[in-house]
């Protein structure tokens, strides 16, 4: 299975519009995100990332195979 992530905004300028990974099984969202961040050297702080699907928040521990489309949101810290 291939999982692709589309970057928007500044990240797209930095990393191109898309990055894909080939997976053999169904790892968690967190595992996939760690791989992407590490492999592509994505300059984000993991703690600021949350995941949404169908407008609802999704646990990073959920299997990636459960979702057709997943939004990765970088939250801004207040204060």
Partner 1 sequence: MPYGFTGKFVEVDLSSSKVRVVDVRRDLYRKFLGGRGLGSWILWERLGEVWEGLDPYSPENLLIVLTGPLTGYIAGVRLAITGKSPQSGGTVGSTIASEVGLELKCSGYDGLIVSGKAKDPVYIFVHDDKVEVRDASKVWGKGIRETHKLLLRDVLPELRKTPRFGEPKEPAMIYIGPAGENLCRFAAIEGKYAHAAAYGSYGSVMGSKNLKAIVVKGTGPLPPVYDVVKLKELIYKAIELVPKKAPRLRIWGTGQGPWRYGRDLSSIPVRNWQEEYWVEKSYSQYDLEVYDWVKRYWADYGCPLCCMKVTVLHRNGETVITDAPDYELLAYEGSNLDVWDVRDIAYLIWCGEELGLDMINAGNVLGFVAELFERGILTKDDLGFEVKWGDVKAFERLLKMIANKEGIGKVLAEGTYRAALKIAEMKGLKPEEVLKYAVQAKGIGIGAHGIRSGLDYPPISYVTSVQGGDHQSVAMLPLDAPPIVNEVWASLADSAVICQFNMLGGLDLVFDALRAVTGWNISKEEWVNEDAKRILTLQRVLLLLGGPDVYWDPRVHDDNPPRFYEPLPSGPYKGKAGDREEVKKLKVQYFSELGWDELGIPTKETLSRLGLTELEPAVERVRKRLGI
- Binding-site ranges for partner 1 (CB under 8 A): 29-30, 33, 45-51, 60, 75, 77-79
Nearer to partner 1, 9 or 78 (CB): 78
Q: How far is the CB of 33 from partner 1 (least distance, A)?
A: 7
Q: How far is the CB of 25 from partner 1 (least distance, A)?
A: 20
Q: How far is CA 7 from CA 11, 25, 28, 78, 79, in A?
A: 6, 24, 20, 23, 27
User: Mapping DSSP to helix (H, G, I), strand (E, B) and coil, where does residue 47 land?
Assistant: helix
Nearer to partner 1, 20 or 74 (CB): 74
Secondary-structure breakdown of the chain: helix, strand, coil percentages, each rounded to the nearest 5: 30, 30, 40
Nearer to partner 1, 26 or 50 (CB): 50
């Amino acid at each position: 299975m291939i999982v692709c992530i589309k970057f928007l905004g500044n990240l797209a300028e930095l990393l191109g519009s898309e990055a894909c990974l080939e997976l053999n099984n169904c790892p968690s969202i967190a595992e996939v995100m760690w791989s992407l961040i590490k492999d592509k050297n994505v300059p984000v702080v993991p703690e600021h990332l949350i995941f949404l699907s169908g407008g609802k928040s999704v646990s990073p521990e959920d299997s990636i195979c459960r979702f057709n489309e997943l939004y990765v949101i970088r939250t801004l810290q207040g204060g």
